[in-house]
Amino acid sequence: MELLNNNIIFNTIDNGIMVLDDGLNIKAWNKWLEVKTGIKASEIVDHNICEKFPYIEQKKLIRKIKSVLITKNPSFFSVEPHEYLIKIKSNIIMGKVFKYMRQDITLVPYDSERKLVCLYIYDHTKLHESSEKLKKLNEELKELSSKDHLTQLYNRRYFTEAAITMQSLSIRNNHHVSIIILDVDNFKNINDTYGHSVGDNVIVSLSRILENNCRKSDIVARFGGEEFVILLYNTSLSFAQSIAENIRENVEDYFLEVNKEKLSFTLSLGVAQFDAKLDKDIESTINRADKALYAAKESGKNKVVTDNS
């Protein structure tokens, strides 16, 4: 392999190239690999690649080499889950996502009689970086499309989609699904007296109280203005009523400090349970909970009313 190690093309090509025998011994190691790994050819040639880099899947590499030698055709070598064959630090300075170079590996027959294959390492870090950034951006866009900007709770659109799934699960698994709908009492007076920025603070504060009083499996959504809806999966009407009462009490005990003045507010809440015999969908359950909310408003506010249909 001395001739190959001194070959100009072999040592100037902008990819990693090494030659391996069927026993995984390195027979040639080009300049690209020397520069990227800091290991000179004289230090690694005739050494076993898996002894030098023990994280390489030895059995997998042996199988792939044998396949290439038998078929005499090139083959792509998967480097999952690490996404690299040889650990090489990424040299991307700006916006680095990956610590180590993302690589694509191709094996080609080199000398079948001597049972040698040529292994190419391609640096695809930039491509993977772009893909990862695009994936992250898509995830952020998806989250933005499902979240309310002010409160970071789910919005009506996401709630509606999730409610359809919850409805199907409840019917299939014979589980209860309950709805709490609520809004802030006399919210217009808060905005008129203290301004919309204080009104926004009330909405955000209420959002955190709702999150703290609900499980991770519950879906808390802002429907708009001061109106919120909570979907509680595997929750009976009586348990949903107790959750609503806890929320009401927590809000009643809470206050915001505005210009050294304590600003308190209260909620009215309506509760209903999905019933396949009464409701064609969750929207029908929400309508029943909304009527219960209206009853709470009409009977004095700052209370929970349950629909017992």
Q: Are residues 213 and 257 in the same domain?
A: yes
CA dihedral 206, 208, 210, 214 (to 10 degrees): 180
Q: What is the mean pLDDT of each run of 10 residues along the chain (309 residues)?
A: 63 90 95 94 95 94 94 89 88 68 92 93 82 69 78 91 86 89 95 94 96 92 94 93 96 92 95 90 93 96 92
Q: For 16-44, how does the pLDDT look when each residue is reduced to its tens digit (9 = 90+)?
A: 999 999 999 999 999 999 999 999 999 99
Facing residues of 231 across strands? 179, 219
One domain, residues 60 and 156: no
Distance CA 106, CA 166 (A): 47
Does 195 lie in the same domain as 57? Answer: no
Note whether residue 136 is domain-resident: no
Question: At 190, which CATH number?
Answer: 3.30.70.270
Residue 266 lies in a domain: yes
Torsion angle, alpha carbons of 193, 196, 202, 208, to 10 = 180
Catalytic residues: 226
Q: Are residues 34 and 110 in the same domain?
A: yes
| 215-231 residue pLDDT tens | 888 999 999 899 999 99
pLDDT of residue 94: 47
By DSSP bridging, strand 26-29 and strand 16-21 are antiparallel
The reply to whether 106 and 229 lie within a common domain is no
Strands 267-273 and 304-306: parallel
Query: What whole-number distance in Å separates Cα of residue 3 and Cα of residue 261?
Result: 86
142 located within any domain:
no
Look up the CATH number of the domain holding residue 93: 3.30.450.20
